Amino acid sequence: MVIYCVVPAAGESTRFPWNKLLYNYCDKPVIVQTISNILESGVFKKVVVVLGYQHELVADALRDFRSHVDITVNSHYKQGMSTSIKLGVEYIARNYGDARIIGVNPGDVAWIHPGIYTSVVVRFSEQLGRFRVAVAAYRGIRGHPILFSSEILSELLSISEEKMGLKEITSKYRDQTLIVETGYPGVILDLDTVLDILRVKQLVNK
């Protein structure tokens, strides 16, 4: 089963004092922790990171991963995350024609244990004929990663901010979505404000 992951990491972090992807959490930039966890799962053939704001600085933080990830830059990142997700999916479709599943995991969702990625991918792979979408959840709350069957690739390539991005697809395929309960709060934690750092410490680092 050939699986890819798109990591949108292009935003300006307007609610954070500085670029949140470069914030050191436990002595490691958030974006580095995100990519480390994804790669350590061992289930993705390639990780495509879509950069935008301060792309040179973020790319430099990822320099040790360059043999394992592809980096592309979204010049339209100010138009919303859907432009980065779409660009990442386009990159995969153009450069790799063997994708069966494409995952999406934002660059600031950095507290997902590698085993969680493995679990969600395995569950989805086993039931790919029945479901089109899979999503990790914690106590019923949906988070990341979100996985999509390549059978709906054309719809992934048509997302836009005007159509609510991925929400249009997840709503359409609500009855064909595999919700994987992980029991792990990291799947619903991202970093938008400084207060989110406290949430992470309370829920993940108990």
Per-residue pLDDT tens for 105-129?
999 999 999 999 999 999 999 999 9
CA triplet 186, 174, 149: central angle to 5 degrees? Answer: 75
Across-strand partners of 71?
49
Confidence band of 26 (pLDDT split at 50, 70, 90): confident
- CA dihedral over 6, 8, 63, 201, signed as positive or negative: negative
- CA dihedral over 180, 183, 188, 191, signed as positive or negative: negative
Q: What does the pLDDT look like over 173-190, one tens digit per residue?
A: 999 999 999 999 999 999
Q: What does the pLDDT look like over 35-71, one tens digit per residue?
A: 999 999 999 999 999 999 999 999 999 999 999 999 9
Average pLDDT for residues 134-150, to the nearest whole number? 98
Q: What is the DSSP letter of 52?
A: B
CATH of the domain at 126: 3.90.550.10
DSSP SS3 for 146: strand
Q: What does the pLDDT look like over 67-119, one tens digit per residue?
A: 999 999 999 999 999 999 999 999 999 999 999 999 999 999 999 999 999 99
How many structural domains does the chain have? 1
Confidence band of 205 (pLDDT split at 50, 70, 90): low
pTM for the structure as a whole: 0.96
**Which structural domain, as residue segments, surrounds residue 135?**
3-203
- What is the reported pLDDT for 204? 85
Q: Cα(84)–Cα(49) distance, rounded to whole angstroms?
A: 9
Q: What does the pLDDT look like over 127-138, one tens digit per residue?
A: 999 999 999 999
Q: Cα(95)–Cα(116) distance, rounded to whole angstroms?
A: 27
Q: Does the pLDDT of residue 206 top 70, yes or no?
A: no
- Residues comprising the chain, all counted: 206
